[in-house]
A = this chain, B = another copy of it.
Amino acid sequence: MATDPAELGRRLRDGDRSAAAAALNVIENRGERDATRALLSEVSPAALEREPPAHVIGITGPPGAGKSSLLSVLVSEWRNRQRTVAVLAVDPSSKRSGGSLLGDRARIDHDPRDDGVLIRSTAAGGRLGGLAAATREAAEALAPAFDVVVVETVGVGQSDTDVEDVCDTVAVVVQPASGDVLQFLKAGIMEVPDLLVVTKADLGDAAKRSRRDLTHALAAVGSPEVPVLAVSSVPSPSGIGELVDALDAHRDGTDLAERRVRARRGAALREFTAEHGERALRDLGGRREAERLLERQDPAAGVTALVSALEAAR
């Protein structure tokens, strides 16, 4: 039975979470842009006539920082507070290695019979913003049907994911004594997040020192107001209730409508330019065909000459 994308969109708009998995399949199938458009037009902010109700939260940080363990306990805290949660776990490494990391890495624990929770892993897409667009669209589609939508990504603020474009609140998760994150923050290479979370608080002094160092680094980059929290997921969770409260406080203290409008405008500009770049490649018969065309050129040709050859072939 074929599923009508617009129908899926309407069901999500009306809060029917059982439409979520099928909707994500439509969105992830990047070949069927019309189906995605039909689906999203039903759940878009205009159709809802209000901002989407979910709080969209980005959880990002280097691999090994403990994001999956943290999300396992965060999801149960939200469920204890009677909130429904969707987690979109994005894996940027698959772009480079060809395979996905997600098989190897820690899973997010949850009760599979609980229909108030959806966990979805997404391999990264193409180079030109495909990932960012699919993630944004997935979050947009799920927003009317869940109380919280989490976008989990790996990175230190340089990722192609542009998690800032998608999320109302961005939390960067680091483990104690992760010096690079501190350096990236101080050097202005890493975007200042809305919230910093130091994991493995059970390590005691190391977590305390990291928390202090990060607080100083944030003051040094002119953002002393960013909260730095210390949490522990295993063996026994601590600081999780405080983290949920801090996420809520950021949401309540932010003009979300304005932030979302700005984010959508930025995303539209980026999608427009990426799309035109891809269109130029399609005019050549696709990326593979363009590569073949380049291989037929003089091996000594410089980049400028190769670009001219591509232009001539359009």
Contacts and interface: CB of A to CB of B under 8 A. Distances in A.
Interface in A128-152: 128, 133, 136-137, 140
Contacts of A45: 300-302
B93 A187 contact: yes
Interface stretch (A14-22, A70-78, A243-251, A278-286): A278-286
Contact of A181 (B180, B280, B301, B305): B180
B40 A271 contact: no
Given A96-B189, A276-B280, A269 B298 contact: no
Interface string A93-126: 1001100010001000000000000000000000
A307 interface: yes
Nearest to A175: B179
Contacts of A179: 64, 175, 177-180
A272 B136 CA distance: 26
B187 A101 contact: yes
Interface stretch (A225-233, A234-242, A288-296): A288-296
Number of this chain's copies in the assembly equals: 2
Contacts of A304: 37, 40-41, 44
Interface in A1-58: 37, 40-41, 44-46, 49
Given A63-B189, A158-B158, A300 B269 contact: no
A281 B287 contact: no
Given A158-B159, A275-B277, 14 more contacts: A44-B304, A46-B305, A65-B183, A101-B188, A154-B187, A155-B158, A178-B179, A178-B180, A180-B181, A264-B306, A268-B306, A269-B291, A272-B310, A275-B307
